[in-house]
Amino acid sequence: MLRWAVIFLIIAIVAAIFGFGGIAAGAVSIAKILFFIFIVLFLISLIAGLMRK
């Protein structure tokens, strides 16, 4: 999931360079959502792993 967030961030940067503001804003918002979902899932798996020990 982190990979997809980075891909959308790169798309946003390239779109911003070429002047496509709407596409860049959309790609940035998708990248943010995917990044936060990744962080939440990472923390859940980290806590679950610590509870098993």
Q: Provide the residue ranges of all domains of the chain, joining segments of one domain with +.
A: 2-52
Is the sign of the CA dihedral 18, 22, 24, 27 positive or negative? negative
pTM to 2 decimals?
A: 0.72
Percent residues over pLDDT 70 in the chain: 100
3-12 long-range Cβ contacts below 8 angstroms, 24+ apart: 4/34, 5/31, 5/32, 5/34, 5/35, 5/38, 6/31, 8/34
pLDDT digits (tens, 9 = 90+) for 19-43: 888 888 888 898 899 999 999 999 9
The span from the CA of 10 to the CA of 5, in Å, is 9
